[in-house]
Amino acid sequence: MNGQRHATLVAAATLALTLTPLIGVFAGLGWTVPVLMAITAVAVSGSLMRAAGRGQGLQTLAMVGSLLVIMTAGFNGGTAIALIIPTPATFSHWGELSGEGIQQIIVNSPPVPAEGGILFLTMLGVGVVAILHDMFVVGLRTPALAGLTLLTMYLVPVSVAPEATAWFWFILPAVAYLWILADDNLRRVSSFGHRFTGAGHLVGQHFPSPLARTARWSAAGFIAVTLLLLTVVPTNTSGLIDNVAEDFGGTENYSLGDVNPWAQLSGSLNRPEEVDVLRVTTTDPSPRYLRMHVLDELTDDGFGPNDYSGGDDADGLTGAGDDEQVFEAQIENLQMEAPVVPVYGDPVGLDIEGDWQIDEDTGVIVGDGSDMGDVDEYTVTYTEPVPATETLAGAAGMDPSDERWESNTDHPDVPELADTVAQATEGAGTVHEKVLAVLAYLSPANGFRYSLETTDAGNDQAILDFLETREGYCQQYAAAMAWMLREAGVAARVVIGMSQGSRDGDQWVLTSHDYHAWVEVYFDGPGWVPFDPTPASGVPGSVGFPWATEPDTDENEEVNEGDPSAEPSEAPTDGATAPTDASPGAEENPTDDPTALAGGDGGAGATRFNPAWLALLLLLALPLVPALWRAGIRRSRLGPGRLSALTAWDEATDLALDYGVAIAPSLTPRQAAGVLAHAAPGARDAATALGAAMAQQRYSPRGAAIGGLADAVRDLHSQLDKAAEPRRRYRAMFWPASLAVKLSARQAEQSADMARRTARTADRMRSAMRRARRSNSRRERSVTGRP
Amino acid sequence: MTFESSPAQPPQGPTPLSPQEFKATVEGILTNVEWVIEGKSHTIKLAIAVMLAEGHLLLEDVPGVGKTQLAKALARSVDCSVRRIQFTPDLLPSDVTGVSIFDPEKRDFVFKPGAIFGNLILGDEINRASPKTQSALLECMEERQVTVDGNTYKLRSPFMVIATQNPVEMEGTYPLPEAQRDRFTARLAIGYPDVNAELALLDRREEYNPLDALRPVADADMIVRMIAAARAVHLAPELKRYVVDLVTATRTNAQVRLGASPRATLQLLRCTQVLAAMDGRDFALPDDVQQLAVPVLAHRLIPTTETTMGGGDTKAIVSDILRHVPVVSNPGRF
């Protein structure tokens, strides 16, 4: 096999290795076949073109062509000629496929079935990367650049499937990259015919280079360090499709197509750019949250939406009672796509296009074939019941004989969680007390902190993790609260929707960052009552529910005082635990209080040490390391304990080296001092004194006095600095040549040592082989010569 | 002055000589000699150093540059016995060493000392004498004694041979064998004076020969004391190592067929000590070694045929070695 064909093979194999983390993104392994076909087609066509002696341009063309053909064969939609020749219709078909694929990427969470648009995009992407990769590795012989293509490939699974960041997924791509580098280097070196060590010793074809051990160790070390960093440095891998609910029940449980409310929630919150979703004009002076989904099915994998069973037509909403205040909201749909209608409180009337049904159990208005994407504007009339705190305090929970009891209190058996809940709700008797206990447990005063940099889903382990790390966002808060309440025997469910948003004149604007999750608890009488465990500081447009507090204010104070960790500065966190404290003004326009937000974040951040800052600090300090090291050497040489004519002279010669003044080792101290004086005319006396002291110290029986030597060195330093060009000056500062010499001297020593050892080993082996031959011949002679 | 069986007196009880005295005396001799040979102070200094190192000097230069003048001036500046031998092809070994003749009065053989029995021996045009005469001289130089008819006669101290040699004239000469060149501590060339020095030379010699006006500034005793003082100069281990490194380098150099001998090492160190003392120091520096390396080492090296044919000479080789041998053998004391 010639070198180029071998390199082609290596390129294809390494790319295939790098694709392994994609296993976590797709359901099943069916996607591997077309993807590997694309890689093979590219490799084979490129290799053939090279074998025919064609240049890089034709090679690339051939690879693109073969990719086109194989893509056409796979995705022609009946538009291709002879199945493999694309027509204009094929390309427009591909355009549709891409659009579909992008849509699927946005709404789906991994693992996704590998078919249709997604598979098309994957195959196309891999094919294009394969062409670039082949070009870098084989055509242009720039294997280091191939790291970019491998990185591109690796980033895709990492950005969508957080489990792809697990350390073992990193190893294969890293090994692939090292393979490319090693292979290319071997090819390069063996093209010279012989291999040499650093010290110029010849190494046999099959002997490992004496440097190989060092190389292997450093490669292993780099991988280890990288893996270590991956575990230490917090990474935000929640990308376009965060699979926050990837474990939830599997895809077959969805009744809403493939749309997962959790994915929509975290995907929206993590969107880097904020887009307006809804614009609301309402008669309600302070609207509450817009409900969209209700998640009341709790399994090992967390909360998931119930099978909306459907029910009455949404047009047939019952009107409000006479004594209730009715608000009307006109909602303009700017960007929302969902199979449910976001509505406030208890809707009493809905004016909307399409077919919508109200789910009996949850009150969610579900599209019967209709989607919000088709709705431009709708009007909802609703009431917002405000149950009195006292009523709730006295109300019982859901009656266990209720048919809904099962579905709203069911929870997996997790002993650790049970213990936590037992502790948290100790002494709480009524439902309301339990709710408040859980709210207090999840409050910032108890160390919980709002953070979007969390990707865990709501499954049991994730809930325990959240309770352990005490960092999360509304998803974790809501899931944890509902789960804890269920554990405590209270009927609770998670609601996903949108927060209040921000006021824009008479209207409210709700953006993609206003998606929110909270909890509803069932009280006998008032029914489902919303509670929001998430700290108000983390949620723009957060609403305080007046009933989420103790009925008696005295007790409320007692709770706050009783908490030793509560600090006076935590004003916003107080607002979260006892939202009644929030002034009406703040409630109307909560996002107008940036200081409160910042204070909340800062206060919470100060309590936790983020290792990323340390890493960043170290990274910033890295360029200063040589300078600091050099300064340390200087200080130790000129320090009062160690200073002698010899150390002063060492420092002087090192300074000369730093500033590019060549002092040959064959120069006597006087001559060297002359050279120094020539380089820094201002320091002639200092240099002469240093040289004379050095000569005296080394050659006279008496040694030299050290008086004034440190000053002479400093003088020499400043004069050399003055005489040097700016570039030389910076180099002397940040990358002193004397350090480099020290390091390379050490390295040269080791390399020579290693070469000697290898030579000895080779000698031993050769002589051992010779001995073996001799002994054979002796035996033959003894047999034949003396019968 | 009798020489019969009179061994040279051992050096008298050493009267400590201060570095200042040493320096002043050397400068006196230097000024004296410079009065005769203008603008050659470095060469003169080296010549004095060889004398104080108890060595012998080979002056090799074209005719007329003052080889003999230098030798004479040096001899005159020191108040001691000076003998001059003009080497000719018919000069016999006994002319150098001396001979036993029958004294009819005493009815015994009496030793008539040759020209070698002096403090300073000026051997002019040494390469004109036959090899056997040269050998006789060279034996005296090394052994500092003469053996005639089974009797050994010690030579005087200080004892120094200054030989001159003419490198251009080859006909009828017997060039010194390589091995015997080793006996000379240093080989110096004087070289042509520069324009100013030559003008000064003309002015000075208009009326009289400056050589005649020279007055001695030191005597033999003084020289002996100076020799003793120079031997006391401290030689640091690093310096000894440097000298050994230099000599070793001449032996391993690819351009050299025969390197310098251990005797060269010894003599280089002795001269180094003198040079240090002449500078008023009581310790030697590598700078001293570097000044001496070419004169002390170059004439002992035998270059390879390739080097000779390529126009290379041993002075260049030694200079090259000086440029490459580190002053401290392990400069990386990191």
SS3 B15: coil
Nearest Cβ partner for B326 among A666, A699, A742: A666
For B264, the token pair is 């060269």
Final residue of a domain: which of B231, B254, B270?
B231
Cα distance between residue A528 and residue A360, in whole Å: 13
Q: For A81, which DSSP code? A: B
- Looking at residue A206, its pLDDT comes to 54
- Looking at residue A562, its pLDDT comes to 40
SS3 A677: helix
Write the CB contacts of B86 (distance below 8 Å, at least 6 apart in sequence): B124, B125
Whether residue B162 sits in one domain with residue B239: no
Q: Where are the alpha helices (DSSP H) in A108-166?
A: 116-134, 143-160
CB burial readout A589-616, b (16+ within 10 A) else e? ebbebeebbebbbebbeeeeeeeeeeee
Total of domains in chain B: 2
- The torsion defined by the Cα of A109, A111, A117 and A121, in degrees rounded to 10, comes to 100
For residue A647, the distance in angstroms to the closest alpha carbon of chain B comes to 10
Signed CA dihedral, A456, A462, A465, A469: sign only = positive
| Residues of chain A positioned with their CB less than 8 A from the CB of B285 | 668-670, 695, 699
Cα distance between residue B122 and residue A44, in whole Å: 93
Residue B7 covered by a domain: no
Cα distance between residue A496 and residue A517, in whole Å: 4
User: Residue A329: which of A372, A375, A283, A363 has the closest Cα?
Assistant: A283
For residue A721, the distance in angstroms to the closest alpha carbon of chain B comes to 24
Residue B8 covered by a domain: no
Cα distance between residue A209 and residue A215, in whole Å: 10
Cα distance between residue A265 and residue A273, in whole Å: 15
Residue B96 covered by a domain: no
For A466, the token pair is 């959240």
Q: For A313, which DSSP code? A: B
- Give yes or no for a contact between A647 and A637, defined as CB atoms under 8 angstroms apart: yes
Cα distance between residue A694 and residue A258, in whole Å: 83
Most A-contacting residue of B327, B329, B333 (CB-CB within 10 A), to test interface: B327
Whether residue B311 sits in one domain with residue B223: no
- Give yes or no for a contact between A736 and A661, defined as CB atoms under 8 angstroms apart: no
Whether residue B286 sits in one domain with residue B165: no
For A772, the token pair is 């073996």
Cα distance between residue A79 and residue A97, in whole Å: 13
| Residues of chain B positioned with their CB less than 8 A from the CB of A669 | 285-286, 327
Whether residue B178 sits in one domain with residue B247: no
> Amino acid letter at B267?
Q
Whether residue B150 sits in one domain with residue B67: yes
Strands of chain B, DSSP E: 57-60, 78-79, 82-86, 98-103, 108-113, 120-124, 145-148, 151-154, 160-165, 186-188, 218-219, 256-258, 302-303
Please report the DSSP string for B171-204 in residue order: TT--PPPHHHHTTSSEEE------HHHHHHHHHH
Final residue of a domain: which of B198, B231, B264?
B231
B328 at the A interface (CB within 8 A)?
Answer: yes
Residue B2 covered by a domain: no
- Give yes or no for a contact between B45 and B29, defined as CB atoms under 8 angstroms apart: no
Whether residue B183 sits in one domain with residue B47: yes
- Give yes or no for a contact between A514 and A423, defined as CB atoms under 8 angstroms apart: no
pLDDT, tens digit (0-9, with 9 covering 90-100), for B257-313 = 888 999 999 999 999 999 999 988 889 999 999 999 999 999 888 888 888 888 778
For A401, the token pair is 């004989």
Whether residue B183 sits in one domain with residue B72: yes
Q: B292 is in which domain, residue-wise?
A: 233-334
Whether residue B217 sits in one domain with residue B83: yes
Residue B293 covered by a domain: yes
A666 and B325 within 8 Å at the Cβ level: the answer is: yes
For B293, the token pair is 């390396």
The alpha carbon of residue A328 and the mean position of all alpha carbons in its chain are separated, in whole angstroms, by 43
- Give yes or no for a contact between B133 and B120, defined as CB atoms under 8 angstroms apart: no
Integer Rg of chain B from CA:
21
Cα distance between residue A519 and residue A438, in whole Å: 12
- Give yes or no for a contact between B276 and B259, defined as CB atoms under 8 angstroms apart: no
- The torsion defined by the Cα of B312, B315, B319 and B325, in degrees rounded to 10, comes to 90
A666 and B332 within 8 Å at the Cβ level: the answer is: no
For A537, the token pair is 């500081």
| Residues of chain A positioned with their CB less than 8 A from the CB of B324 | 666
B93 at the A interface (CB within 8 A)?
Answer: no
Whether residue B257 sits in one domain with residue B227: no
Nearest Cβ partner for B327 among A668, A745, A746: A668
| Residues of chain B positioned with their CB less than 8 A from the CB of A636 | none
- Give yes or no for a contact between A62 and A55, defined as CB atoms under 8 angstroms apart: no
User: Residue A46: which of A150, A141, A134 has the closest Cα?
Assistant: A134
CA distance readout (Å), A154 to A14, A17, A419, A484, B210: 12, 10, 41, 38, 96
Whether residue B223 sits in one domain with residue B303: no
Whether residue B263 sits in one domain with residue B226: no
> Amino acid letter at A332?
E
| Residues of chain B positioned with their CB less than 8 A from the CB of A699 | 234, 236, 238-239, 283-286
B219 at the A interface (CB within 8 A)?
Answer: no
ω before A173 within 30° of 0 (cis)?
Answer: no
* A and B: number of Cβ contacts within 8 A: 51
A700 and B281 within 8 Å at the Cβ level: the answer is: yes
B219 sits in the region (left: phi over 0; alpha: psi -120 to 50; else beta) called beta
B285 and A666 within 8 Å at the Cβ level: the answer is: no
Mean pLDDT by 10 residues, chain A (787 residues): 79 88 80 88 89 84 90 82 82 86 72 80 88 86 84 79 66 84 78 57 58 76 76 47 34 42 74 79 83 81 70 64 76 82 83 81 78 83 82 80 79 81 82 85 81 62 77 81 85 85 81 84 84 78 73 44 41 40 39 39 45 72 84 87 87 89 87 90 89 89 84 90 86 83 75 74 70 47 41
For residue B80, the distance in angstroms to the closest alpha carbon of chain A comes to 34
Whether residue B293 sits in one domain with residue B156: no
A668 and B284 within 8 Å at the Cβ level: the answer is: no
B287 at the A interface (CB within 8 A)?
Answer: yes
For residue A216, the distance in angstroms to the closest alpha carbon of chain B comes to 28
B234 at the A interface (CB within 8 A)?
Answer: yes
For A397, the token pair is 């929970």
Quote the longest CA-to-CA distance of chain B.
Answer: 79
Environment class of B80 (CB within 10 Å of its CB; exposed 0-12, middle 13-18, buried 19+): buried
Cα distance between residue A291 and residue A325, in whole Å: 19
B286 and A699 within 8 Å at the Cβ level: the answer is: yes
Cα distance between residue A697 and residue A715, in whole Å: 21
Residue B9 covered by a domain: no
- Give yes or no for a contact between A249 and A258, defined as CB atoms under 8 angstroms apart: no
Number of residues that make up chain B: 334
For A123, the token pair is 């195959």
**CATH code assigned at B50:** 3.40.50.300
Nearest Cβ partner for A668 among B287, B323, B334: B287
E strand or H helix at B280:
none
Please report the DSSP string for A364-382 in residue order: -EEESS--GGG-SEEEEEE
Write the CB contacts of B227 (distance below 8 Å, at least 6 apart in sequence): B11, B52, B53, B54, B158
Cα distance between residue B267 and residue B297, in whole Å: 10
Residue B260 covered by a domain: yes
- Looking at residue B249, its pLDDT comes to 92
Final residue of a domain: which of B190, B211, B231?
B231
Write the CB contacts of A252 (distance below 8 Å, at least 6 apart in sequence): none
Cα distance between residue A361 and residue A368, in whole Å: 17
Cα distance between residue A724 and residue A730, in whole Å: 10
Residue B108 covered by a domain: no
For A77, the token pair is 């939609």
| Mean pLDDT taken over chain B | 85
